[in-house]
Amino acid sequence: MLVPVFTLKLNHRINPRMVAVGRFDGVHPCLTAATQAGKVFIHNPHTRSQRLFSSRVSQSAQDSDISLLNINQAVSCLTTGTLAPGSSCHALLVGSQTSLLAYDVHNNADIFYREITDGANAIVLGNLGDIPSPLAVIGGNCALQGFDHEGNDLFWTVTGDNVRSLVLCDFTGDGKNELLVGSEDFDIRVFKEDELLAEITENETVTSLCHMHGSRFGYSLANGTVGVYDRTARYWRIKSKNHAMSIHAFDLNADGVVELITGWSNGKMDARSDRTGEVIFKDNFSSSVAGVVEGDYRMDGQTQLICASIEGEVRGYLPASKEMKGNLMDTSVEQDLIRELSQRKQNLLLELRNYEENSKCVAGCLTSEVDAQGGVIPANTQLQTALSVKAGTESQRPHIELCISTPNETIIRAVLIFAEGIFEGESHVVHPSVQNLSGCVRVPIIPPKDIPVDLHIKAFVGSKNSTQFHVFEITRQLPRFSMYELCKDDTAPRPKGKVTFQINDRPQRVIMWLNQNFLLPASLESPDVTFTALRAGGLLCIRMQPSGEIQLNTDDIDLAGDLVQSLASFLAIDDLQVEADFPAYFEDIRMTLTEVDEFHSVHQKLTAVMADHSNAIRHMLVQAEDARLMGDLKTMKKRYIELYDLNRDLINEYKIRSNNHTALLSCLKAVNQAIQRAGRLRVGKPKTQVVTACRDAIKNNNVNALFKIMRAGTPSS
Amino acid sequence: MELNLNRVDYLQVGVTSQKTMRLLPALGRKATQKVVVADQDGVITCFGMKKGDAVPVFKTLPGQKISRLELGGALGTPQEKIFVAAGSEVRGFTKKGKQFLSFEANLTESIKAMYVSGADLFVCASYIYNHYCDCKDQDYYLSGDKINDIVCLPVENLGRITPVLACQDRVLRVLQGSDLMYDIEVPGPASVLELNNRDGGSQGGEILYGTSDGKLGLLRLTDTSPVHIWEVANEKKRGGVLCIDSFDIIGDGVKEILVGRDDGTVEVYGLDSSNEPVLRFEHKSKTLSESVTSIQGGCVGKESFEEVLTATYTGWLTGLTSEPQHKEAGPGEEIKMSRETQNKIAALRAELEQLQIKVLQEREKYQQSSQSSKAVSAVPVFSINDKFTLCQDDASYSLTLEVQTAIDNVLLQSDVPIDLLDVDKNSAVVSFSECDSEPNGNFLLATYRCQANTTRLELKIRSIEGQYGTLQAYVTPRLQPKTCQVRRYQIKPLSLHQRTHTIDHDRPMNTLTLTGQFSFAEIHSWVVFCLPEVPEKTPAGDSVTFDFQNTFLDTQLECTYSKCEANFKSDNISTISILKDVLSKEATKRKINLNISYDINEESVNHTLKMIHPKLEYQLLLAKKVQLIDALKELQVHEGNVDFLIPEYRSILEEASRLLEEYKKQPAHLERLYGMITDLFIDKFKFKGQNVKTKVPLLLEILDNYELNSLVEFFDSA
């Protein structure tokens, strides 16, 4: 049994996912974590004599090993590492919703401080692609930004939604790091510098990512899933009812391969094999785990795995010694193996008994009542399933109907559908009341996004008064674009928004793509079709010229992007140049951009007013105190009343300022999303070009150029 | 002293019932003992251990489900005759496996509990107790509630036969002949009885009992009255007790008490200097938590190493032995050890492979049969061990489901609004599905997807009094061909009430009286419908009284009824109101004319409010304190010390973890109290014929700034 080599009680709460170990003087490792009240604490047990005193750092009164760093803002992410090339000392990087601070703890100096309008939800430090110096990459609202040690903004790109997790990992195996980004739209995106290499769609917000080895990485989702990917192929995943707070790769059993260490919200910590997900070690904390990191914390040349709980309990584990043979748990392997084999034997025996009893029952023919209870059904009962698109009626929203029926007099007692990402939980249940029991169940399904979904259907089939039912298990796939109904009416005006591009493939291939990705009553003959979008309303027209030119008409820019991406991957197109026009959407963005300008000017005005007020406060306070010293109580009272009024004004202004700020943020997010959407309409190189060109246009505040790029897909030349 | 026991698995048989495994007496001193175990397939297996291998002595053919196994023999000789109860028959076997007795007890129901002493045989069906001597009928007794277990005090010491029945209504019944001598109230529904020290102690009158809510106690029975010696409460929320044994595992000359529970826990209690029980050892299997159905102390695996042998629900015989598992031995010996196990594993694997082939063939056959239009598919019913009980401590129901093989998923469906609470012990992923109360009447649809190897699932459910219906659980095990079984549980209108045998008559009571043309059986069935823990069988006699206690508020209810008349007395006006609604509905359903009259005692409302007051005040204070913890901690970090805080705040900081734990233990406690006060308010005026629903927001406002006097005033003035 593996036991911790050290345990610390730090008496400071630790914010989840904000734990790091840094060697700020280049030698001694210090556990660094964000705590309450906008503070960061540094636990430095090794250099007790040297103490730091300054404006930012203060000594904790409770514990002499702990120094506290005042950030004066809620910390949102934190990391440590080498920032300046060639330096042996680690820098501390602290991100908040408005800023990024790079701090040299040893010399007690700011390295740089940057205002970050998009906020910093996640941070990672390291080398990215061909950029020579280490970068601190932060992910905020739809934006990614990378800073070098001088605070220069060397890297910028946009992504689909708010970033929640980042990791650097050699995804392609070319010896250079790619950036993996997990975001709130359930996607893991892989960036080679600013080129998007791959997108992996998961079914919940990606909360953490960690690099395992080679191109393998671990991930965790907000619904309690953790797993391991190798490139875009998932090795394994497990789901727990608890949430994974922090994941980390560490070789705990000393077999030369790292394991995925997960810290859970219920205080459990486990280590799983990277190949199978099998638990090889677990331990329990009394409160939720806040972070899992590693470091040579005892300074004896061995790296320990360090787990910290939110209550400030820290445990360090050494990798297992050779004698333990990789067996870290408190049980004997043989015993467990025998038990498992016996259990399997028992299961097989039970199954065998089931068949025997079944044939006995068949031989002895039906003895009516008893059998009805046991749920006897005709052996040739087969479940039929059908998927169809239903337009909305007055009582029901438009949906996809899954119809499950039995061919005989048996009834369906209940239907369980397990599917990811389309129901509130992971399952949907239909359980008709006794009077409504029949052999046919219709389940309305409304997928919220255009993603292909596997529906794992379990239907309980029996007779009306059975207590035992047969369980039929069927898997059906819902195609990606299932919420679109074929529209027969060709006279309707086409939507104004459109994208046009040229492919070098036969129309048959496009027809094939249509048949696979849309839910159609019958196979299509020609690639010219019109659909009604059931979710958002509006039409979608697809036209293909004999020359290979394809035109998609829709007002939904997201849908157009999804279609282009799906078609390009189906036809294996690497680079695709697209011309696009979405008049309504572009108009919205134009408005948003003007709003951004307004918000900016309001912000400046408010800042100026605030400066005035703070001068006035100083002035009034001096006057009031003077009056008090002179004994002129009347004036003093007057001044203090004025001060009170001013204070109230300030609070009001603060509220305005913060409202203004949130509005500004949402506008900026919309702008970032617009760039991302414009990018998604293209594939490969043209995509990267569009994103960079848009960014330049925004930097130069050239709105017309921005729209030109979005339309043409190339920087104006 | 520290007790260190290691787990060893011996053998797996079929699903076992409670108390169906015993150790045969050893032949010489310190020799290993043979194990005899009976399962629900009707097979009795007797085996001994030789060099780590289970060597069978005998094994009978499958038959009817065996519900009990006891050892007997002429008094004064080794008790090595084996008696089993299967259906309504008792069979006897010698230790070699030769059947010498087959006795049909002529009961209409199957035997639930059995005890053997010399030539005396005691058997119990659900409500009936029978005593036979030399297979001749002697005594008979009809119990008021279900009988769970039976023992007979040793005849050698007392000179007469004194059977003791453990009954579901929280009572032990002591009999003399066919008559009840006296009954003893115990803190929970007793599920198992055992003689203390295996012989009833020095005077022969000491009985150990375990309850299905996890309590344990020792009683001394004298001729006239019982003496409670000690009692162990279930503070750690362990499972219910299923089996008890006395055995000296430590080797200090005093027998310890071995306890097996239905959540897989095995405990060893020793006695301290003041003869109070102390927990010496606890074993909780981390991977498997199945009911421990039988427990015995003895020597099985290896000579001169004492051990605790357990049988579990799925039929595993597991020893907790004092033999150290990793011996200090040379490297050579270590290899030999593992070779033995390797052989065992290889044999198992080979067996598995053969089985697999056979199963594949059968599977094919089964698939083929699905082509034919005449064939039917009938899969035998698998057994589910389930328990649905009210927990007194937090006034919620706990539902445990246990299946022989791993559970794949469980679907819960309810036609009444109930809350599902999270249970730390279960690791299954729960998912709530959208439900449509119209037209299908679902208020809860939830699926539990179980992790691999889960054979037992524990759920917690919170009900609301007055709302009643059925909870259904569809259990699907991981077994081909896939089937699922449904289990139904009634949520009764007064679901939070519990049987009690002591009632305080000084409280101000409200009375509800029913008269009409109904039979005794009818009114009894209505009471069964309304209240939990009432026996389904109509009691003997002309009239009957049942007393209940509300587990949440501690208010009480007394039901007295006979043919054509029923009386319900409670100090809680809401209880009376619910009863009135449900009973009149039931009567209308059966077209029976009922005269309902009630006598409302105004004082009772204030009395109930005063009873709620300390609970409410405590909860409010707790909530307030918990709210402050985070802020105070922040201050502490900011200022570096807590000297500047007032003592009250300082004490909150000191107690922070305890407060948080307490707060976590009782989720939504405050909301439930509020709900009950609101019900009380509405019900008070309902009896006056006023509808005060519009005043409820006002009441909630008063509750937000709670003070007993203002609340009482509001109740009086409104």
Series of mean pLDDT values for 10-residue runs along chain B (718 residues): 74 89 80 89 90 85 91 86 91 90 86 90 91 89 90 83 90 90 89 88 86 90 86 85 90 87 88 84 71 90 84 88 58 49 81 88 82 75 87 86 89 90 82 79 89 85 90 90 90 90 86 89 90 86 89 90 90 90 88 86 86 88 87 78 82 84 79 87 85 84 84 81
Binary contact (B355, A345; C-beta < 8 A): yes
Distance of CA B113 to the CA centre of its chain: 16
* Residue A333, domain member (yes or no): no
User: What CATH number did the domain enclosing A265 receive?
Assistant: 2.130.10.10
Nearest residue in chain A measured CA to CA from B11: A342
Residues from chain A that touch B469, judged by Cβ atoms under 8 A, are: none
State both tokens at B219: 């009683």
pLDDT band of residue A63 (cuts 50, 70, 90) is low
pLDDT tens profile A466-522: 888 889 999 998 888 888 888 877 677 788 888 898 888 888 888 899 888 888 888
State both tokens at A654: 């603060």
Domain termination residue (choose one: A551, A573, A595): A573
| Total domains, chain A | 4
Q: Tell me if chain A has a CB within 8 Å of the CB of B470.
A: no
Going along B480-572, which residue ranges are E strands?
483-491, 497-500, 510-516, 543-550, 556-562, 565-570
pLDDT band of residue A366 (cuts 50, 70, 90) is very low
Distance from CA of A241 to the nearest CA of B (A): 5
Do residues A556 and A526 both lie within one domain?
Answer: yes
CA–CA distances in Å: residue B702 to residues A314, A557, B602, B696:
46, 54, 21, 10
pLDDT band of residue A248 (cuts 50, 70, 90) is very high
CA–CA distances in Å: residue A702 to residues A155, A664, B92, B432:
21, 19, 99, 50
Q: Which of A314, A310, A316 is nearest to A14 (CA)?
A: A310
Q: Yes or no: say if A140 and A165 are a contact pair by the CB < 8 Å rule.
A: no
Nearest residue in chain A measured CA to CA from B326: A332
Comparing A326 with B433, the larger pLDDT belongs to: B433
Q: Which of A209, A325, A211, A221 is nearest to A265 (CA)?
A: A221
- For A219-226, what is the mean pLDDT? 91
**pLDDT (0 to 100) of residue B38:** 93
Q: Yes or no: say if A696 and A563 are a contact pair by the CB < 8 Å rule.
A: no
DSSP state of B198: G
Nearest residue in chain A measured CA to CA from B353: A345
Rounded to whole angstroms, the Cα distance separating A275 from A235 reads 7
Domain termination residue (choose one: A321, A340, A364): A321
Please name the amino acid found at residue A38.
G
A647-651 long-range contacts, CB within 8 A, separation 24+ = A649/A613, A650/A610, A650/A613
Do residues A42 and A80 both lie within one domain?
Answer: yes
**pLDDT (0 to 100) of residue B474:** 94
State both tokens at B416: 């009444």
List the single best residue of A323, A358, A382, A438 to mutate versus B (max B Cβ within 10 A).
Answer: A358
Q: Yes or no: say if A463 and A375 are a contact pair by the CB < 8 Å rule.
A: yes
Measured at the CA of A355, the angle between CA A349 and CA A359, to 5 degrees, comes to 145
Do residues A450 and A535 both lie within one domain?
Answer: no
Partnered with residue B685 across adjacent β-strands are none
pLDDT band of residue A241 (cuts 50, 70, 90) is confident
Q: Which of A100, A103, A111 is nearest to A138 (CA)?
A: A100
Q: Tell me if chain A has a CB within 8 Å of the CB of B135.
A: no
Do residues A56 and A192 both lie within one domain?
Answer: yes
List the single best residue of B318, B386, B410, B474 to mutate versus A (max A Cβ within 10 A).
Answer: B474
User: What CATH number did the domain enclosing A468 receive?
Assistant: 2.60.40
Bond from prior residue into B439 cis (ω within 30 degrees of 0): yes
Do residues A270 and A390 both lie within one domain?
Answer: no
- Among A336, A341, A355, the residue with its CB nearest the CB of B352 is A341
Nearest residue in chain A measured CA to CA from B410: A416
Do residues A247 and A108 both lie within one domain?
Answer: yes
Q: What is the ipTM of this complex?
A: 0.82
Count of CB atoms situated within 10 Å of the CB of A423:
21
Binary contact (B478, A470; C-beta < 8 A): no
Most distant pair of Cα atoms in chain A: their distance: 112
**pLDDT (0 to 100) of residue A368:** 45
Binary contact (B378, A424; C-beta < 8 A): no
Binary contact (B359, A334; C-beta < 8 A): no
- The packing angle between helices A633-680 and A583-630, to 10°, is 160
Rounded to whole angstroms, the Cα distance separating B573 from B581 reads 12
* Residue A328, domain member (yes or no): no
* Residue A636, domain member (yes or no): yes
**pLDDT (0 to 100) of residue A161:** 84
CA–CA distances in Å: residue A111 to residues A20, A87, A117:
18, 13, 19
Nearest residue in chain A measured CA to CA from B437: A433
Domain termination residue (choose one: A462, A478, A494): A478
* Residue A662, domain member (yes or no): yes
Count of CB atoms situated within 10 Å of the CB of B244:
24
- Among A374, A375, A427, the residue with its CB nearest the CB of B433 is A427
- Among A240, A348, A359, the residue with its CB nearest the CB of B359 is A348
**pLDDT (0 to 100) of residue A341:** 82
Binary contact (B637, A344; C-beta < 8 A): no
User: What CATH number did the domain enclosing A563 receive?
Assistant: 3.30.310
* Residue A338, domain member (yes or no): no
Q: How many helices (H) does chain A have, and how many strands (E)?
A: 8, 43
Average pLDDT over chain A, rounded to an integer: 84
Most confident of A102-111, A348-357, A491-500, B404-413: B404-413
For residue B358, what is the enclosing H or E element? helix B331-369
Could you tell me the domains of chain B? 384-491 (2.60.40), 497-600 (3.30.160), 603-717 (no CATH)
- State the first-to-last Cα distance of chain A, in angstroms, to the nearest integer: 68
Distance from CA of A419 to the nearest CA of B (A): 11
Backbone angles phi, psi at B401, to 5 degrees: -125, 130
**pLDDT (0 to 100) of residue A167:** 92
Do residues A246 and A390 both lie within one domain?
Answer: no
* Residue A523, domain member (yes or no): yes
**pLDDT (0 to 100) of residue A613:** 87
pLDDT exceeds cutoff 70 at A54: no
List the single best residue of A349, A351, A381 to mutate versus B (max B Cβ within 10 A).
Answer: A351
Do residues A501 and A457 both lie within one domain?
Answer: no
CA–CA distances in Å: residue B154 to residues A644, B77, B185, B196, B252:
88, 14, 22, 11, 25
Binary contact (A471, B630; C-beta < 8 A): no
Q: Yes or no: say if B418 and B487 are a contact pair by the CB < 8 Å rule.
A: no
Distance from CA of B532 to the nearest CA of A (A): 23
Distance from CA of A33 to the nearest CA of B (A): 14
Please name the amino acid found at residue A231.
R
Do residues A521 and A426 both lie within one domain?
Answer: no
Binary contact (B379, A374; C-beta < 8 A): yes
Do residues A263 and A199 both lie within one domain?
Answer: yes
Q: Which residue has 């197109």 as its token pair?
A: A573
Q: Tell me if chain A has a CB within 8 Å of the CB of B596.
A: no
Binary contact (B429, A354; C-beta < 8 A): no
Residues from chain B that touch A427, judged by Cβ atoms under 8 A, are: 431, 433, 447, 449
Do residues A11 and A67 both lie within one domain?
Answer: yes
**pLDDT (0 to 100) of residue B50:** 82
pLDDT exceeds cutoff 80 at A325: no
Binary contact (A12, B637; C-beta < 8 A): yes
- The packing angle between helices B696-704 and B669-686, to 10°, is 140
Distance from CA of B444 to the nearest CA of A (A): 10
* Residue A351, domain member (yes or no): no
Bond from prior residue into B481 cis (ω within 30 degrees of 0): yes
Count of CB atoms situated within 10 Å of the CB of B602:
14
What is the domain extent for residue A692? 583-712
Q: Tell me if chain A has a CB within 8 Å of the CB of B314.
A: yes
Q: Yes or no: say if A131 and A153 are a contact pair by the CB < 8 Å rule.
A: no
* Residue A27, domain member (yes or no): yes
**pLDDT (0 to 100) of residue A528:** 85
- Among A348, A423, A436, the residue with its CB nearest the CB of B355 is A348
Count of CB atoms situated within 10 Å of the CB of B270:
19
Binary contact (A471, B476; C-beta < 8 A): yes
Do residues A192 and A310 both lie within one domain?
Answer: yes
